[in-house]
Amino acid sequence: MRKPGHDERAQCFAAFAPESIAHYLEHVWLGTPNAIEEPALADDATESLSVIPVSELANHRTELLDAMVTLYGGEHETHARALLSQWTKYYFGFAATAGFVSAALLRRPLAMSPDKTYVVLRGGLPVAAYFEYDALQPVECDPARRYAPLVDHLNAVIETLCAMTKIAPRVLWSNAGNLLDYLFEQCAPQFDLTDDIAWLFGPIAADGQANPLRLPVRQAKPRAANLPNPFSARRVCCVRYEIPGETQLCGRCPLLLTMSDAEIALQAASH
C-alpha cells in the first residue's frame, strides 16, 4: 500500500459525509493514518491491537469471537453464529458506510478490495478502517459501476464470515442492507437518491442473479397497538436473541411484529 507522503496526509472519511451519518466515519480513512490522527492506533497494554487487510479476517476468528463474548456474553462455539452476526454490524458501520458515501453522495466508486482495505482490531473489535490514499475513483454515472466495489466487498466479507460458522448468508446481507437503508433514510432530506435506492435494493443484482440486498426493510402491520403502523421491520433477523441474556431486540427486529403491547413495553423499559 502506498504510504501518504508530506502532501498526501490521510483524510478522514467523516469530512465527506453529512452530519447525520458522519459519526460512522470518524475512524475511517483514505490513506494510512498515524496514532496522532487516529487514536485507535495508540498502544494500549490492556488489549491486543492488530492492523490487518480484510482478506486475512479468516485467520482471526478467535479474536472476533472473543470481542463479541466480552460485549454480549455467550459461548464461543455454541453462539458463534449470533456473535459473528453482531461483529459484522460493527465492521459494516465502517466499510459499508464509506462505500455508501462514495457511491451515493460523491458519485464515485471506492476501491475496496479486501486485500487493500485495512481494519484495526482492538481485542478483536473493529475500531477503525482505512483504504488506499487514492481509493476514490472518478465520478461514474452508472450505478452498477458505482456500487460494484461495495457489493463485491460485502460479498467477500460475508463469504468469509459464513465460512467461520453455520450461518445463512442472508442474515449478514440483512445486517448490511438494514444499515444501508438507514443511511439512505438519513440522507434523504439533502439528496435525491431515489434512483440509487431502486437500483441497490432492486430484485436483480448486476450479475443477473437474485439480489441479496433486495428490499432489506419492509413496511408491516404490527400486532402491538403502541408500535407505529406501518412498522419498518428488517426482512431477516440478526439472531442476536440466540445469545443468552440478550432480550433487547434491535429497533427494526421482525420479532417485534409478533409481540403484544405488554411485551413491547418491556422492550422499551430495557432501553
The per-residue pLDDT for range 10-25, each reduced to its tens digit, is: 999 999 999 999 999 9
Q: According to the model, what pLDDT value does residue 45 have?
A: 64
**Among the ranges given (2-11, 60-69, 111-120, 201-210), the one the predictor scored with the smallest mean pLDDT:** 2-11
The CB-side HSE value for 257 (13 A sphere, CA atoms) comes to 17
For residue 129, the cross-strand partners are 28, 119
Counted domains in the chain: 2
Domain boundary among 204, 229, 250: 204
Q: Is the pLDDT of residue 269 over 80?
A: no
State percent of the chain over pLDDT 90: 82
152 and 239 belong to one structural domain: no
- Please report which confidence band the pLDDT of residue 2 belongs to, taking 50, 70 and 90 as the band edges: very low
Instruction: Answer yes or no: are the C-beta atoms of 94 and 129 closer than 8 Å.
Output: yes
Q: According to the model, what pLDDT value does residue 264 have?
A: 84
Q: Is the pLDDT of residue 201 over 50?
A: yes
177 and 220 belong to one structural domain: no
Mean pLDDT of 173-184: 98
Domain range for 224 is 216-271
Q: Is the pLDDT of residue 1 over 60?
A: no
148 and 221 belong to one structural domain: no
Query: pTM, whole model, 2 decimals?
Result: 0.93
Farthest-apart Cα atoms in the chain, separation: 60
Cα 50 from Cα 93, distance rounded (Å)? 19
199 and 222 belong to one structural domain: no
Q: Is the pLDDT of residue 6 over 70?
A: no
Cα 173 from Cα 167, distance rounded (Å)? 11
State percent of the chain over pLDDT 70: 95
- Please report which confidence band the pLDDT of residue 3 belongs to, taking 50, 70 and 90 as the band edges: very low
The CATH number assigned to the domain holding 81 equals: 1.10.510
Sheet holding 11-12, edge to edge: 11-12, 28-30, 125-131, 117-122, 49-53
Computed over every residue of the chain, the mean pLDDT equals 93
Q: According to the model, what pLDDT value does residue 242 have?
A: 95
257 and 136 belong to one structural domain: no
Q: Is the pLDDT of residue 63 over 70?
A: yes
177 and 231 belong to one structural domain: no
228 and 261 belong to one structural domain: yes
Q: Does residue 5 lie in a domain region?
A: no
Q: According to the model, what pLDDT value does residue 251 have?
A: 87
Question: What does the pLDDT look like over 119-172, one tens digit per residue?
Answer: 999 999 999 999 999 999 999 999 999 999 999 999 999 999 999 999 999 999
Domain boundary among 170, 204, 238: 204
163 and 89 belong to one structural domain: yes
Domain boundary among 156, 180, 204: 204
Question: What does the pLDDT look like over 213-243, one tens digit per residue?
Answer: 999 999 999 898 888 999 999 999 999 999 9
228 and 196 belong to one structural domain: no
Q: Does residue 2 lie in a domain region?
A: no
Dihedral of CA 204/207/209/215: which sign?
negative
Cα 22 from Cα 189, distance rounded (Å)? 15
- Please report which confidence band the pLDDT of residue 206 belongs to, taking 50, 70 and 90 as the band edges: confident
120 and 226 belong to one structural domain: no
144 and 182 belong to one structural domain: yes
